[in-house]
Structure 1
Amino acid sequence: MFKVLVLRELYALSDEQVEYLIVDRLSFQRFLGIDLTQDAPDYTAIWRFRERLGAARMKALFEELSAFIDVAGFEARKGQMLDASLVQKPKTRKPVEPKDGAPALTRQQAAHRDGEANWTQKHDRSYFGYKSHIN
């Protein structure tokens, strides 16, 4: 159960979010040693464990874990997302809301525009779409 708290801390997740991601991600299940046929701990079990552990003991355990990580030559940073991926969308030539003086979009044109997708760069390449990650 301590490994669940490690995931919770590293990714800055709530108890509900870490429960969902344990069920959703094979990488989390492998890290926790959970088989596909096993049930993941629910958020109330995570919360009860964290409360029973207490802030002082949890801090001491994380300091000890940090020392082991340092001795092994690794670095763990909070919020580090290792598996973020991009979800590409077709490029939009016309904005969702036209500028002053520009003709308004028809209903069909507006339905095909994605006003929430953005441009981003990854490895010196530009992408239009969404970032798929937790944080």
Structure 2
Amino acid sequence: MEYQITDRLSFKRFLDLKSSDRIPDSKTIWTLRETLIQEEVIEALFYRFNQALDDQSIFVKTGLIVDTSFVEVPKQHYSRGEYRQNKQDLHNMMRCDNVFKERCLLAIKKSLSTEPYG
């Protein structure tokens, strides 16, 4: 919150802060929030705040902020031989997975088919 207040003039105007005013740090903001919660006034405060927005026909929509970033990665250039080897390695790994799954299924079926006290 401290960063947003410092970074955005709209936040400063909303909080009625002048450029010469000190910006509250995150600990101060957190302490104020916790005090409002302990005094059980935070809900009433937000109700009045939302009422003031409604009176001015400002309707708040809740949503989700998604932050994305693009990272450049080096392109991998495989020779045909490396490509074939990687493809074969992947095929072999998948085959091993399938053999393992089949063995597990057989073991499970076998343990389910035997009588526990037999």
Would you tell me which structure has more strand in proportion to its own residues? Answer: 1
Report the structure number with the largest CA radius of gyration.
Answer: 2
TM-score for both structures, normalised by structure 2: 0.49
- Greater per-residue helix proportion: 2
* TM-score (structure 1 length as normaliser): 0.44
